[in-house]
Amino acid sequence: MAKGYLWVITAILVPVVLVMTACNSSKSTPTPVPSAAPTSTSSGATPAITPTAVVTPTPAPPDGTPSGAVPPLEAAVEAIYAQVNPSVVNIQVQTSAGQALGSGFVWDKQGHIVTNNHVVDGATRMKVTFADDTIVYATLVGTDVDSDLAVIKVNVADSVLHPVQLADSTKVKVGQLSVAFGNPFGFQGTMTVGFISAVGRSLPVSSTVPGQPGYSIPAVIQTDAAINPGNSGGVLVDDQGRVMGVPSDIISPSGSSSGVGFAIPSVIVRKVVPSLISSGTYIHSYLGISGTSLDPDVDSAMGLPASQRGALVVTVVSGGPSDKAGLHGGNQVVSIFRQQVTVGGDVIISVDNQPVKAFDDLTAYLAVSTDVGQKVNLTILRDGKQMSVTVTLEARPRQ
């Protein structure tokens, strides 16, 4: 059970009509720049006297870069653009409801393009524009709602396809350079630069299955690089031009960049995309619980030490894998800060000997390190006593 955000999390797909309106409304007439008076040198005319400008040498930057040379950061960013931009595409989607624009990137030389599921959801036609202005139509290969990823395919010359390189998103640190590529508001070939501002975020995915809890995308990367409608499905890369994640959502009161953008981590992309290409779908491993993270207030309500951390099991899905393994959900409702909170369930403190300090730790481990049919060993606290429970993971119910 993820905690709510102050602003609504917005998927960053841009309807075409919004792009056209924004472009039209932003037109302005540039102010003319006065030109210098002409200097006549014709016979019989008095030549104008032109002052000689005094040129003051620009001091070398403190980093030792020679005067007039491109600073190292600028040179690095320019190199990143030259490397990555040919891999990023514009995707124009037609649905029964209208048209919209998003982004995507080249996965391989077979013509597979990765994007967000919400970019191509309900598409009846998809048109892909490459950085060199090659334009082709695409077919749908596979989609996964729970990771918000999709794969489409194009048939183009091999020379047009420039596959990306993936970074290891588990190694991403706060403060790293982050560079976003995509088509914000339909402006193709746009690059924005910022930093990684947080890691290990969780993005909720609403459930469409009656009686089933909603899911979350774990290990999500947060960046302050400008991400806007139209960036969905593009790439967030590191200082080597390697893909750390796929921009998919922003938090904003206005619907545009507020410096809080989210990217689906490459560790999930690397796992989901090959399955979408081979089978058109991806099957997530499933524990069959919903829960929340312990904090001192919940600890107090359960008679646990205030420093105890872990994932509190709130509900256990009837007939699910955790139910079969005997895991217990909450049995008491208390009021904490005027909110009704269910407590009393098992507290998961480790999974396969990996510490679980918050519920997101559990979901991240399941997403990255497990498969359907795998057995996982949970170390839990039940009524304050530590014990172990083995759960055989099943296939997550389809959204």
Q: Determine the Cα–Cα distance for residues 315 and 208; give it in Å rounded to an integer.
A: 18
Torsion region of 175: left, alpha or beta (phi above 0 gives left; psi -120 to 50 gives alpha): left
Query: CB under 8 Å to 43, separation ≥6 — which residues?
Result: none
202, 232, 285, 350: the catalytic one is: 232
Residue tagged 């205030």 (tokens): 306
Active-site annotation holds for 158: no
118, 144, 248, 284: the catalytic one is: 118
Structure tokens at 93: 């989607």
- CB of 246 within 8 A of CB of 231? no
Active-site annotation holds for 284: no
Alpha carbon distances (Å) from 115 to 26, 91, 112: 29, 9, 10
Please work out, in degrees rounded to the nearest 5, the angle formed at the alpha carbon of residue 79 by the alpha carbons of 77 and 82: 115
148, 224, 238, 361: the catalytic one is: 148
Active-site annotation holds for 232: yes
Which residues are bridge partners to 236 per DSSP? 180, 245
Using alpha carbons, select from 7, 398, 40 the residue that is nearest to residue 205: 398
Which residues are bridge partners to 92 per DSSP? 101, 127
Q: Count the alpha carbons within 13 Å of 25 in the hemisphere toward its beta carbon.
A: 6
Q: Determine the Cα–Cα distance for residues 350 and 337; give it in Å rounded to an integer.
A: 28
Catalytic residues: 118, 148, 232
